[in-house]
Amino acid sequence: MATPFEVNMKEIDLLKRIERLKKELVGKEEMIRERENVIRERENVIREREDELKEKDRMLDEKEEELSFWQKSVKTTREKGDKIADEFKFMFERREEDLKEKLAIREREFDEQLQTLEDQKEKMRLLEEKERSEREELAPHSVYHNTISEKVEDRKGSKIQNSPTPPKLSTYDGKTEWKPYYIQFNHIAKKYMWNEREKLDKMIECLREKALKFFSSRPENVQKDFKLLCQKFKERFERKDQSHIIRRQLQEIQQKADETLEEFAERIEDLSTEAYPDSPEFFRSTITIDAFLRGCLEKRAALVTLDKDPKTLDKRFNI
C-alpha cells in the first residue's frame, strides 16, 4: 500500500497537471476568440466586396442599356443620313445632266457664232482688198503715198501737241505673272501712242529686282528690241501651265476645308479665265458654275445656288 506521503505527492502532481491544462485551455480559448474575430472581419470585408460587385453590376447594366440606346440612335441617324445622301446624289446627278446638256447647247451656239464671226471677218477682208484696189486704180501711186505721209505727219503733230501726260507706271519685279502687267502696260502705250523706242524706254524704267536682273543678263539685241524683250519676259515669268492642264484642274477642283464659298468661287473664276481666255462670257460662266457645283463642300449652299440659277458666280457672290 502507498504511504500517505506518496498519496500526497500524487495529489500534488495531479493538481499541477490540472492547473497546466487549465492554462492551456485558457490559451486555446483566446486563440479561438482571436480567430473568430479575424473570421468576422473577413466576413465583413467579403460582404463589402459583394456590395461593391452588386453596385458595379447595376452600373454595368445601366451602361449597357445606355449603349444600346445610342447604338439604336446612331443606326437611325445613319439610315436617315444615307437616305438624304441618296437624295442629294440623285439631285446633283440630275442637275449635272441638265448642265451638261445646256453646256452642249451653248457650245454649239458658240461654234455657230464663231463661224459667223469668221465669215464676217473674211467678208471685211475682201471688202478692204476691193476698196484698196479701187483706190489704187483711181489715184496715182505718188499722190496716194503723199496723202498717207501727210496724214501720218498730222497724227504725229497732234500727238505732240494734244497728248496728255501719261500716268505713273507701276513697276514690275518678276514676282507676279507677266501677262496682267503686260496687258496694262500695252493699254497705256496704245492710249498715248508710244512708238517702239518709247515703249522700250518706259519698260526698262519700270523693271525692279528679279525682272531687272533678268533684263541685264539678256544679250544686247534683246535689250534693244521691245517685242523680243517682251517675248523673253513672257517665257520667263508667264505661268507655265498650258490651257488643257488648267482645264483639267478646273474639272478636278475641290473646295478646301478652311475656304469660304466666296474664296472658292473667286479661285474658280481665276482658273476659268486662264483656261478659256478667248471664249465668250456666257460659255465661261457655264463652265465656272459647273465647277463650283461639283467641288462645293457645302451642298446646301450649292442647292440654294441651283435654285437661284445665277448666270454667273459674280452675281451670286458679288465677286
Q: What is the pLDDT of residues 261-305, one digit of tens each?
A: 888 888 888 888 777 776 777 788 888 888 888 888 876 766 666
For residues 242 and 236, is the Cβ–Cβ distance under 8 A?
no
Whether residue 175 sits in one domain with residue 149 = no
Query: Cα separation of 280 and 131, whole Å?
Result: 31
For residues 144 and 135, is the Cβ–Cβ distance under 8 A?
yes
Whether residue 126 sits in one domain with residue 194 = no
Query: Cα separation of 105 and 89, whole Å?
Result: 24
Whether residue 315 sits in one domain with residue 280 = yes
CB atoms under 10 Å from CB of 229, counted, come to 21
Q: What is the pLDDT of residues 64-92, one digit of tens each?
A: 999 989 988 888 888 888 888 888 888 87
Q: Flag whether 278 is in a domain.
A: yes
Cell matching residue 140: 496715182
Q: Flag whether 141 is in a domain.
A: yes
Q: What is the pLDDT of residues 168-223, one digit of tens each?
A: 888 999 888 888 899 899 999 998 999 999 999 999 999 999 889 889 988 999 99
Place of cell 483706190: 135
Boundary of a domain, candidates 140, 162, 184: 162
For residues 178 and 237, is the Cβ–Cβ distance under 8 A?
yes
Q: Flag whether 86 is in a domain.
A: no
Whether residue 271 sits in one domain with residue 227 = no
In terms of Cα–Cα distance, which of 83, 84, 74, 78 is closest to 299? 84
Q: Flag whether 106 is in a domain.
A: no
Domain count along the chain: 3
* Greatest distance between any 2 Cα atoms in the chain: 192
- The reported pTM is 0.34
Whether residue 245 sits in one domain with residue 235 = no
Q: Flag whether 11 is in a domain.
A: no
**Is residue 144 over pLDDT 50?**
no
Cell matching residue 184: 496694262
Whether residue 319 sits in one domain with residue 245 = yes
Whether residue 260 sits in one domain with residue 205 = no
For residues 131 and 144, is the Cβ–Cβ distance under 8 A?
no
For residues 249 and 271, is the Cβ–Cβ distance under 8 A?
yes
Boundary of a domain, candidates 177, 208, 239: 239
Higher pLDDT, 237 or 181: 181
Cell matching residue 69: 440606346
Q: Flag whether 33 is in a domain.
A: no
Whether residue 246 sits in one domain with residue 231 = no
Q: Flag whether 142 is in a domain.
A: yes
Identity of the residue numbered 204:
I
pLDDT value of residue 236: 82
Whether residue 245 sits in one domain with residue 234 = no
Boundary of a domain, candidates 224, 239, 254: 239
* Residues of the domain holding 120: 115-162
Q: Flag whether 301 is in a domain.
A: yes
Whether residue 229 sits in one domain with residue 249 = no
Helix (H, G, I), strand (E, B) or coil at 172: strand
